[in-house]
A = this chain, B = another copy of it.
Amino acid sequence: MFENSKKVESSSNPSEYDEPNPSEAGSANAPLTRPPGVHRVCLPPRQTSVQKLRRRLLEIFFPDDPLHRFKDQTWFRRLVTGLQCSFPILKWAPHYSFKLLKCDVVSTREPGDSAGTKHSLKKTFSLTETGISYAKLANLPPIIGLYSSFVPPLIYSVLGSSHHLAVGPVSIASLVMGTMLSEAVSYTEEPALYLKLAFTSTFFAGLFQASLGFLRLGFIIDFLSKATLVGFMAGAAIIVSLQQLKGLLGIVHFTSKMQIIPVLSSVFNHRNEWSWQTIVIGVTFLALLLTTRHISSRRPRLFWISAAAPLTSVILSTILVVCLKSKLHDIQTIGQLPKGLNPPSAHMLLFTGGHLALTIKTGFTTGVLSLTEGIAVGRTFAALKNYQVNGNKEMVAIGLMNIAGSCSSCYVTTGSFSRSAVNYNAGAQSGVSNIIMAGAVLITLLFLMPLFHYTPNLILAAIIITAAVGLIDYEAAYKLWKVDKLDFVACLCSFFGVLFISVALGLAIAVSWDSVFKILLNVTRPNTVWLGNIPGTQIYQNRNRYTQAVRVPSFLILGIEAPIYFANSTYLQERILRWIREEEQWLASNDICDLRCVILDMTAVTAIDTSGLDMISELRKMLDNRSLKLVLANPVGSVMEKLHKSNVLELFHFEGLYLTVGEAVSDISSSWKDQP
């Protein structure tokens, strides 16, 4: 019988929906006209499937409404705005002044400060030295690190929209590239092939980055949560520090694997290669560097100590090696570095052969990771100075920069947090600071290269270890533990994944934990809360949390705190039935009047699917059988629409719906008084 009435009504349904305010048609079917104090639950305005799809796609791909600057403009202004969007340099270059140039050149907070030139010089050295160390992290020749500090900043200054982002090689991408490529090819055995693979990976990284931005898929990088990155960086830092034991102990034959077990066994299996001279000098400098780092972190005012320490160590150790050359024959040095600018490398890109999959994978991973860092850094400084950075546009800029880099002997670069922070603190005002930095590197490349000839490898190892140790953010990990246990598990997943399995798999495990388990767990087992009335108000709140909220006689009011999906509809049904059973037991044991109505507060049910709709109608039928009324309060727009389309509303005879819990309670209670 029930089935029949459903069919008859459903045939008349589409026409109802054509009317401007469909809920009115619904309420006409309702047996009772509502009292004036009770508000009707409306359907959202009607939209066709195409309109809905369009709105949804706009929200996915263009949440920032990128064309809003073009609205209500003449065609000429639109052209100018378009060009400025593509090449942000056109936006700031016309307003660029000599005063700003001075800020950018000396990069000191007070222009004209005498320390300016000194800072500048120190920055150049520091750039050189981080460039070299990061290149070593990627198992690349040191000069590639310098090349990568020259071309990419120039390109970014034309295309990038952030004023403070300083680009160059960064630790995490260098590390990952080194790890992933070394697993397949050893630099010491096949340097030419390794170099080719590195450039090809850089090309793919750039390609991925640019296409992500171009296709407006930038939200992919959001899936690397901070928790994942904290664990990932700590794991990677430990692996890298252990890898550097090669340089610090003077070992010649070392594994190219990047898991903790082969690395440790490689260290201890080559004890005969340990060189005591290297160890003594290396450990001394490492201790020095770590001490200065510790002092600076304890007393922020002494930050210059740790800033100056690496450069000082490089100079000291080079002098030491030069002076004691005859005695310290065990110590390996960097050796001859070629003078001159970046040689072209487009002919070295390898798009055929067995390593294509590897380079694509490496490119994707390093590309995504370096994007994450670059975008996050850009956003941070933009937020500090109260301007906005467009994520998708930044991705295109970084991507093009890497593609150009791969053709001019550079490896993956991105916005670096440490460089940008130095830049910001020193007072840089615009993208010109990137050009200035590139100029400084240019001078180094052309004139200062011989100075590095006798720099020992061990000092680079010590600098890298110090930098890597700084990436282990145990305070952040502790905060994760304190605030959110599930995030802490994500952090542990990526930490142990990187340490024991591999970089790519570790990241994949952490991301899937994060997105699949954390989100699905919340959806699969949502909270249901028992609401009570706060006396004297229309507010209904969790009785467990607000002790002043009281039971409403004859009613059971439940709040469902999740969308209702296939994954939780069975659970929710069982849980609601259990709430009812427990409530009835309690009532029976206290001899209080019976339960007569169950109200589901649907405010937090932000979506529903067909399984959820089935659950609601089944629940209604079950409770009908037990002469219990089921009522829904405040379904959101999309839920209301689906309730309507699936004919579940008809089960409720268009009357079991209220705008608020308060109205439901007062209306139903008064209807009981009318018909006792």
**Which residues in A have some Cβ–Cβ distance to B below 8 Å?**
39, 42-45, 49, 52-53, 56, 59-60, 63-65, 68, 219, 222-227, 379, 383, 386, 388, 391, 479-480, 482-487, 514-516, 518-527, 529, 534, 537-539, 541-542, 544-546, 561-563, 565-571, 574-575, 577-578, 581, 603-604, 606-607, 609-611, 613-614, 618, 621-622, 625-626, 636-638, 642, 645-646, 659-660
* A581 cross-chain contacts in B, Cβ below 8 A: 68
Query: Shortest CB–CB separation between residue A372 and chain B, in angstroms?
Result: 11
Q: A65: nearest residue on chain B (CB-CB)?
A: B578
Say yes or no: A523-B527 contact (C-beta < 8 A), given A487-B609, A534-B39, A566-B227. no
Tell whether, in the assembled complex, residue B577 and residue A42 are in contact, meaning their CB atoms are under 8 Å apart. no
Tell whether, in the assembled complex, residue A482 and residue B645 are in contact, meaning their CB atoms are under 8 Å apart. yes
Query: Shortest CB–CB separation between residue A518 and chain B, in angstroms?
Result: 7
Query: Shortest CB–CB separation between residue A480 and chain B, in angstroms?
Result: 6
Say yes or no: A610-B577 contact (C-beta < 8 A), given A527-B638, A539-B660. no
Tell whether, in the assembled complex, residue A570 and residue B607 are in contact, meaning their CB atoms are under 8 Å apart. no
Query: Shortest CB–CB separation between residue A22 and chain B, in angstroms?
Result: 11
Tell whether, in the assembled complex, residue A391 and residue B610 are in contact, meaning their CB atoms are under 8 Å apart. no
Tell whether, in the assembled complex, residue A578 and residue B525 are in contact, meaning their CB atoms are under 8 Å apart. no
Query: Shortest CB–CB separation between residue A437 and chain B, in angstroms?
Result: 28
In the assembled complex, the Cα of A577 lies from the Cα of B383 at a distance in Å of 12
Main secondary structure of the interface of A (DSSP, over half): helix
Please list 14 pairs of residues, one from A and one from B, whose beta carbons are closer than 8 Å in the complex, sorted by A's number: A45-B545, A49-B485, A60-B524, A60-B525, A63-B574, A63-B578, A222-B568, A227-B566, A379-B570, A386-B625, A515-B567, A519-B523, A527-B636, A603-B604
Choice from B524, B561, B578, B609 contacting A484 with Cβ under 8 Å: B609
Tell whether, in the assembled complex, residue B522 and residue A563 are in contact, meaning their CB atoms are under 8 Å apart. yes
Tell whether, in the assembled complex, residue B222 and residue A610 are in contact, meaning their CB atoms are under 8 Å apart. no
Tell whether, in the assembled complex, residue A637 and residue B545 are in contact, meaning their CB atoms are under 8 Å apart. yes
Query: Shortest CB–CB separation between residue A285 and chain B, in angstroms?
Result: 32
Tell whether, in the assembled complex, residue A226 and residue B565 are in contact, meaning their CB atoms are under 8 Å apart. no
Say yes or no: A383-B483 contact (C-beta < 8 A), given A42-B545, A563-B522, A603-B604. no
Tell whether, in the assembled complex, residue A642 and residue B562 are in contact, meaning their CB atoms are under 8 Å apart. no
Of the listed residues A514, A609, A622, the one surrounded by the most CB atoms of chain B closer than 10 A to its CB is: A609
Tell whether, in the assembled complex, residue A604 and residue B607 are in contact, meaning their CB atoms are under 8 Å apart. no
Query: Shortest CB–CB separation between residue A314 and chain B, in angstroms?
Result: 33
Of the listed residues A63, A610, A625, the one surrounded by the most CB atoms of chain B closer than 10 A to its CB is: A610
Say yes or no: A391-B63 contact (C-beta < 8 A), given A483-B646, A539-B39, A611-B225. no
In the assembled complex, the Cα of A626 lies from the Cα of B386 at a distance in Å of 9
Say yes or no: A222-B483 contact (C-beta < 8 A), given A514-B566, A609-B518, A659-B539. no
* A606 cross-chain contacts in B, Cβ below 8 A: 522, 526-527, 561-562, 604
* A577 cross-chain contacts in B, Cβ below 8 A: 388
Tell whether, in the assembled complex, residue B487 and residue A610 are in contact, meaning their CB atoms are under 8 Å apart. yes
Tell whether, in the assembled complex, residue B479 and residue A219 are in contact, meaning their CB atoms are under 8 Å apart. no
Tell whether, in the assembled complex, residue A571 and residue B222 are in contact, meaning their CB atoms are under 8 Å apart. yes
In the assembled complex, the Cα of A486 lies from the Cα of B482 at a distance in Å of 37
Say yes or no: A519-B518 contact (C-beta < 8 A), given A226-B610, A606-B526, A646-B479. no
* A546 cross-chain contacts in B, Cβ below 8 A: 42
In the assembled complex, the Cα of A546 lies from the Cα of B522 at a distance in Å of 30
Say yes or no: A622-B542 contact (C-beta < 8 A), given A63-B525, A226-B610, A567-B519. no
In the assembled complex, the Cα of A492 lies from the Cα of B106 at a distance in Å of 62
* A525 cross-chain contacts in B, Cβ below 8 A: 56, 59-60, 63, 219
In the assembled complex, the Cα of A537 lies from the Cα of B666 at a distance in Å of 15
* A569 cross-chain contacts in B, Cβ below 8 A: 222
Q: A385: nearest residue on chain B (CB-CB)?
A: B625
* A39 cross-chain contacts in B, Cβ below 8 A: 534, 537, 539
Tell whether, in the assembled complex, residue A222 and residue B524 are in contact, meaning their CB atoms are under 8 Å apart. yes
Say yes or no: A571-B483 contact (C-beta < 8 A), given A519-B519, A606-B561, A636-B561. no
Query: Shortest CB–CB separation between residue A68 and chain B, in angstroms?
Result: 8
Say yes or no: A609-B566 contact (C-beta < 8 A), given A618-B383, A660-B539. no
* A545 cross-chain contacts in B, Cβ below 8 A: 42-45, 637
Query: Shortest CB–CB separation between residue A543 and chain B, in angstroms?
Result: 11
Say yes or no: A538-B541 contact (C-beta < 8 A), given A388-B577, A566-B514. no
Tell whether, in the assembled complex, residue B483 and residue A613 are in contact, meaning their CB atoms are under 8 Å apart. yes
In the assembled complex, the Cα of A625 lies from the Cα of B646 at a distance in Å of 48
In the assembled complex, the Cα of A248 lies from the Cα of B602 at a distance in Å of 54
Query: Shortest CB–CB separation between residue A541 and chain B, in angstroms?
Result: 7
Q: A603: nearest residue on chain B (CB-CB)?
A: B603
In the assembled complex, the Cα of A448 lies from the Cα of B357 at a distance in Å of 62
In the assembled complex, the Cα of A566 lies from the Cα of B518 at a distance in Å of 11
Tell whether, in the assembled complex, residue A522 and residue B607 are in contact, meaning their CB atoms are under 8 Å apart. yes
* A571 cross-chain contacts in B, Cβ below 8 A: 63, 219, 222
Tell whether, in the assembled complex, residue B520 and residue A386 are in contact, meaning their CB atoms are under 8 Å apart. no
In the assembled complex, the Cα of A613 lies from the Cα of B613 at a distance in Å of 33
Choice from B515, B603, B607, B611 contacting A226 with Cβ under 8 Å: B611
* A226 cross-chain contacts in B, Cβ below 8 A: 566, 610-611, 614
Tell whether, in the assembled complex, residue B637 and residue A542 are in contact, meaning their CB atoms are under 8 Å apart. yes
In the assembled complex, the Cα of A660 lies from the Cα of B634 at a distance in Å of 15
Of the listed residues A522, A523, A571, A606, the one surrounded by the most CB atoms of chain B closer than 10 A to its CB is: A606
* A483 cross-chain contacts in B, Cβ below 8 A: 610, 613, 642, 645-646
In the assembled complex, the Cα of A229 lies from the Cα of B123 at a distance in Å of 63
Say yes or no: A516-B518 contact (C-beta < 8 A), given A222-B570, A225-B609, A574-B63. no
* A613 cross-chain contacts in B, Cβ below 8 A: 483
In the assembled complex, the Cα of A456 lies from the Cα of B213 at a distance in Å of 63
Query: Shortest CB–CB separation between residue A218 and chain B, in angstroms?
Result: 9
* A59 cross-chain contacts in B, Cβ below 8 A: 525
Tell whether, in the assembled complex, residue B223 and residue A484 are in contact, meaning their CB atoms are under 8 Å apart. no
Tell whether, in the assembled complex, residue A519 and residue B618 are in contact, meaning their CB atoms are under 8 Å apart. no
In the assembled complex, the Cα of A647 lies from the Cα of B642 at a distance in Å of 40
Query: Shortest CB–CB separation between residue A255 and chain B, in angstroms?
Result: 32
* A227 cross-chain contacts in B, Cβ below 8 A: 566, 609-611
In the complex, given contacts A49-B485, A519-B567, A539-B659, what are 12 additional A-B residue pairs having Cβ atoms less than 8 angstroms apart?
Answer: A63-B575, A219-B567, A222-B569, A222-B571, A225-B567, A227-B610, A386-B626, A479-B610, A484-B642, A542-B637, A562-B606, A604-B604
